[in-house]
């Protein structure tokens, strides 16, 4: 009898080794090496075949001979989802949605399935985690009922492939990829090999049959999608569903999108009968703002093509330790340290013995440089215990020499501030030319942090 060959594979990065090791040399994680039976090569490989609706060409073709056909996107009734996807769902695409357990991934996809079925599109919802009766109970709660929506509870990839070939749906939802197993792969469902092989097979189906497939992926404690990073490289679009489980608001972000921008953000509110889209998120992020509180400022941030007004809060207090603490939620703490160093050197404020705690209200994560000036004003406001005007909106990037640099899409930012009733906008002086602000709002251009502090805090 032939000896069964085994190998050890890292469940985080896919690193292979002939022997077990406590620490993976590839990613540096501990206790991630799992023994798997080595699969023998059969000499045959599954190739993509060209069929009607396929996105794969059967032979090498000069780029000048390829026809560019603008295929219409299928839009759902959720405009927030359409925006994040780049305008709608593309046929033949493979979309991966990740998020914490209980955040609402299955609810969102079941609602989208119902909306597509109501548009006379055939949808196959494959549930590997719930039985058909459990899915039906959730569908009844959401008011989902359509003859075009098919529910299938299965984890065997071969059976799933046969069902897709037989039913020939326009859309397929797989919930979740960690529960699906390939019978030819001996490792357990959810392992690196299983996730890789199952995703490759679903990608083949999407490209050859022109069917749009959504797959749900679990996330790790660090917040990234479980399984190898190869999973994110294989799919066309990667979406993250974020939010606090104990709050009703959910944020959908695109971290990879071959058919659109990766800077878009969609906001939903979880209610009793499912998710509802939030059309004006700025009002939600500012509705609980304290009037006249020191350390609070408002900034107009761009999330893709959408301006969003959010509140930045800062708390500066004397430290009780040798090294002051720098904590930030929603902002990179390295940026906070940089801005505090600029305030010390260019403005002359002694902050090296102060603890700094900063937060973006509403759970939004901001990573663009246009928030620098608002963060700096918040820090100074809390340090001096001087509140800024509640009707001020502050925009600008801060350089290491204390200058305020121009930002992009300034017109959209100012219009959003005017729409929400702000009376003044403090922005870079270099952004003043070439456009005219809306009526009823005062626009103040500043060239340095000192000028911005004089305009907002009176010196």
In the chain, where are the structural domains located? 6-37, 75-279, 284-457
* Residue 348 among known ligand-binding residues: no
CB atoms within 10 A of CB 45: 6
**If we measure between CA atoms, which residue out of 239, 172, 228 comes closest to residue 204?**
172
Q: How far apart are CA 29 and CA 306, in angstroms?
A: 38
* Residue 153 among known ligand-binding residues: no
* Residue 104 among known ligand-binding residues: yes
Q: How far apart are CA 208 and CA 189, in angstroms?
A: 25
Question: pTM for this structure?
Answer: 0.75
pLDDT for res 2: 55
* Residue 97 among known ligand-binding residues: no
- Counting Cβ atoms within 10 Å, is residue 323 exposed (0-12), middle (13-18) or buried (19+)? exposed
CATH of domain 284-457: 3.30.230.10
Q: How far apart are CA 55 and CA 317, in angstroms?
A: 59
CA 10 to chain centre: 26
CB 89 within 8 A of CB 264: no
Q: Which helix H or strand E contains 299, and what residues bound it? A: strand 296-303
CATH of domain 75-279: 3.40.50.300
Q: How far apart are CA 87 and CA 393, in angstroms?
A: 30
pLDDT in 10s for each residue of the chain, 459 residues: 556 677 888 877 778 898 999 999 988 888 888 877 666 555 444 444 444 444 455 678 898 888 877 667 899 999 999 999 999 999 999 999 988 888 889 999 999 999 999 999 999 999 998 999 999 999 999 999 899 999 999 999 999 999 999 999 999 999 989 899 998 887 788 877 788 889 999 999 999 999 999 999 887 656 566 565 667 888 999 999 987 666 788 889 898 999 888 878 888 988 888 999 988 888 888 888 888 889 999 999 998 788 999 999 999 999 988 889 999 999 999 999 999 999 999 999 999 999 999 999 877 889 899 999 999 999 999 999 999 999 999 999 999 999 999 999 999 999 999 999 999 999 999 999 888 889 889 999 999 999 999 999 985
Owner of token pair 């979406």: 239
**If we measure between CA atoms, which residue out of 347, 353, 407 comes closest to residue 380?**
347
* Residue 143 among known ligand-binding residues: no
* Residue 102 among known ligand-binding residues: yes
CB 248 within 8 A of CB 256: no
What are the structure tokens assigned to 367, written together?
Answer: 């990573």
CB 350 within 8 A of CB 383: no
* Residue 324 among known ligand-binding residues: no
* CA dihedral sign of residues 407, 408, 411, 414: negative
Alpha helices in 44-100 (DSSP H): 79-85
CB atoms within 10 A of CB 3: 5
* Residue 392 among known ligand-binding residues: no
**If we measure between CA atoms, which residue out of 145, 144, 150 comes closest to residue 124?**
150
């Amino acid at each position: 009898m032939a000896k069964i060959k085994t190998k050890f594979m890292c469940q985080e990065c896919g690193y292979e080794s002939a022997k077990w090791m406590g620490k993976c040399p590839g990613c540096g994680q501990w206790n991630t090496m799992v023994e798997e039976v080595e699969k023998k090569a059969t000499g045959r490989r599954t190739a993509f075949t060209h069929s009607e609706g396929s996105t794969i060409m059967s032979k090498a073709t000069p780029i000048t001979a390829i026809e560019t056909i603008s295929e219409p996107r299928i839009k759902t009734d959720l405009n927030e989802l359409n925006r994040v996807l780049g305008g709608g769902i593309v046929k033949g695409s493979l979309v991966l949605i990740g998020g914490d357990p209980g955040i609402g991934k299955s609810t969102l996809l079941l609602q989208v399935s119902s909306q597509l079925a109501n548009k006379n599109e055939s949808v196959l919802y494959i549930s590997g985690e719930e039985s058909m009766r459990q899915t039906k109970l959730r569908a009844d709660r959401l008011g989902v009922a359509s003859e075009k929506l098919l529910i299938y509870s299965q984890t065997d990839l071969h059976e799933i492939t046969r069902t897709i070939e037989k039913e020939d749906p326009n859309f397929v939802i797989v919930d979740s990829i960690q529960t699906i197993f390939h019978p030819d792969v001996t490792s357990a469902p959810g392992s690196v090999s299983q996730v890789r092989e199952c995703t490759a097979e679903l990608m083949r189906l999407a490209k050859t049959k022109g069917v749009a497939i959504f797959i749900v992926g679990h996330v790790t404690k660090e917040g990234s999608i479980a399984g190898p990073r190869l999973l994110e490289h294989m799919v066309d679009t990667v979406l993250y569903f974020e939010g606090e489980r104990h709050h009703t608001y959910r944020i959908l972000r695109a971290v990879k999108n071959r058919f659109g921008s990766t800077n878009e953000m969609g906001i939903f509110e979880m209610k009793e009968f499912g998710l509802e889209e939030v059309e004006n998120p700025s009002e939600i992020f500012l509705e609980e703002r304290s009037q006249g509180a020191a350390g609070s400022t408002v900034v107009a941030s761009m999330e893709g093509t959408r301006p969003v007004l959010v509140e930045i809060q800062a708390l500066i207090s004397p430290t009780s330790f040798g090294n002051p603490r720098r904590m930030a939620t929603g902002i990179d703490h390295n940026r906070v340290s940089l801005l505090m160093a600029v305030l010390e050197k260019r403005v002359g404020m002694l902050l090296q013995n102060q603890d700094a705690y900063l937060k973006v209200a509403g759970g939004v994560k901001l990573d663009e440089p246009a928030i620098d000036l608002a963060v700096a004003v918040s820090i100074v406001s809390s340090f001096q215990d001087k509140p800024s005007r509640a009707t001020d909106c502050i925009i600008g990037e801060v350089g290491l020499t204390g200058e305020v640099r121009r930002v992009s899409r300034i017109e959209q930012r100012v219009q959003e501030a005017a729409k929400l009733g702000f009376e003044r906008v403090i922005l870079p002086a270099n952004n003043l030319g070439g456009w005219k602000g809306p009526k009823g709002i005062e626009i103040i251009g500043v060239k340095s942090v000192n000028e911005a502090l004089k305009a907002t805090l009176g010196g």
